[in-house]
Amino acid sequence: MAITGPTSGYAAGEQTNLTHIEYAQELNFATSPKTGFMRLRHAGETLAVQDMTATPDEINAIPEDAETILTGRSVSGSISGLLSYSTYDDFIAAVMGMEWADGMEYVCSDPAHCPAMWMDNGVFHLETFEDNPKLLDWPVAGMMRLTNPQNVSIDVPFINRSLDPSDSRRDIVTYSNMAGRAIYAKLFATSAVTDRVIIPEGFKFTPLGASNHKVGKTFTFRKRVADRYQIFTGNMVSQIQIHFQAQQTPTVQMDFIGANLVLSSAPVTDSVLPATTTRIMEAARFRSFSIDGTSYDGMVQSVNLTLTRNGAAQDQALGKLGAAGIQFGAFKASLEAEVYFRDYAVIDLWQSGRKVQISFSIVDDAGKGYVFTLLNAQLFNFTAPIDQKNKTMVLRLPFTGNPYPGGGTLAVRRIG
């Protein structure tokens, strides 16, 4: 007679496959929220507690170390994953200190109150008025789509800055790698780039994502192992690396520093939103890599985008075991690309010291994805090694993202 049913007791210990990670944004630092948790897809995590200890020794005749005592505690670690649409959006927004700007389109419906646009020394200015609240609420920087009533559109990076500290109007300054005359000719049927053009009725301004800003966010992570929960509180994103390599799956690694770890038999929350179900992206759908408007499609071997909070740290205080607070530091973006060496166009940028715009995108097979744009990047320390026989030469291009005057280093736009 055949024996049926499973074998029990085969596992030597708890199984990683049965352990879920959930997260929620905190309303108050290092305080776990009761709602808003979501399950997180990942490929590995190393969140762990760090106990700070000391061994204060008194002078005596005992030939052994004194007792080691606990002086403080924090948490840190990484979560890695495979890039998929919307899965890591909360953490991208956190490291950039921004809020996503979807759904903030402004349509000029009253010609008497439509803004004016003009160009000065290669910089476009879009003047807004007090009764255009949607434009006043736009992000500090990002990408913007300008669409005229004939449905002709152009995408440009922008900065939203004040004309005058005492003036409630804003000057949305748009920078573009397209020639000014071409933009004017395309949108307004004129090549007189110094003309002050009143935006016609039906003209649309659509933010396409947002740029880094100054919104601080911390998270609680919940990890169930066996019959208890590990609750990691007060976690800020200190760095995100997004890596694209030919013939490999794009990956994400997120580094965190946090306040404390609490072990709990209670679940903290009764409801958890399911993890995203979007498709994992493929290197073959990496596209539109351009430097200063020049396309390098078909030439890129790898791209590594690093988003960092320089100077991020925990604050410690007497009478408190975990971190008493957090320092978010300053946002920094850098990009390193490897492209096949065909000409000196990029190296000429290095020699001139000119700052340029770098943009690329990636989508999944449903057409959902992202456009990343370094708004004001500069090349330092390029290399073009001749390191072996029978090999196509590769340029290694480390770009540093510089902020525009008034702010704005990296813009991210969601597609789909």
Q: Which domains does the chain have, with CATH numbers?
A: 21-51+69-97+214-415 (no CATH), 106-208 (2.40.30)
**CA separation for the pair 57, 60 (Å, rounded):** 9
Exposure string of 203-234, with b = 16+ CB inside 10 Å and e = fewer, is bbbbbbbbbbbeeebbbbbbbbeeeebbbbbb
Question: Which residue stretches of the chain have pLDDT < 70?
Answer: 1, 102-103, 119-124, 128-141, 161-182, 190-196, 405-406
Place of tokens 């939203």: 160
Q: Which helix (H) or strand (E) holds 138?
A: none
130's torsion region: left (phi>0), alpha (psi -120 to 50) or beta? Answer: alpha
At residue 257, the pLDDT reads 98
Q: Using CB atoms within 10 Å of the CB of residue 158, give its burial: 0 to 12 exposed, 13 to 18 middle, 19+ buried.
A: buried
- pLDDT at residue 194, rounded to an integer: 55
State residue 121's pLDDT score.
61
The answer for residues whose C-beta is within 8 angstroms of residue 90's C-beta and 6 or more apart is 23, 25, 217, 219
φ, ψ of residue 38 to 5 degrees: the values are -140, 140
What is the reported pLDDT for 68? 95
CA 57 from centroid of its chain's CA atoms: 47
Give pLDDT, residue 128: 64
Query: In residues, how long is the chain?
Result: 416
- Phi-psi region for residue 190, left (φ > 0), alpha (ψ -120 to 50) or beta? beta
Six-digit token string for 277: 């179900």
The set of residues, in sequence order, having a beta carbon less than 8 Å from that of 278 and lying 6+ positions away, is: 84, 85, 86, 87, 364, 366, 368
Q: Residue 203's pLDDT is what?
A: 87
Those residues with Cβ within 8 angstroms of residue 369's Cβ, 6 or more apart along the chain or in another chain: 85, 281, 285, 361, 362, 363, 414, 415, 416
pLDDT at 176: 56
Q: Report CA-CA distances (Å) from 227 to 230, 263, 395.
A: 10, 11, 52
B/e letters for 180-201, b = 16+ CB within 10 Å, e = fewer, are: beebbebbbeeeebeeebebee
Distance from C-alpha of 287 to C-alpha of 398, rounded to nearest angstrom: 19
Task: Compute CA distances 246 → 157, 241, 284, 304, 401, whole Å.
Answer: 28, 16, 8, 12, 23
Long-range contacts formed by 115-120: CB under 8 A, 24+ apart? 115/199, 116/196, 116/197, 116/198, 116/199, 117/196, 117/197, 117/199, 118/194, 118/195, 118/196, 118/197, 119/180, 119/184, 119/193, 119/194, 120/194
Closest to 314 in 3D by CA, of 259, 383, 352, 372: 259
Contact 303, 337 (CB under 8 A): yes
Contacts of 276 (CB under 8 A, 6+ apart): 41, 84, 85, 86, 87
Residue 403: DSSP 8-state: P
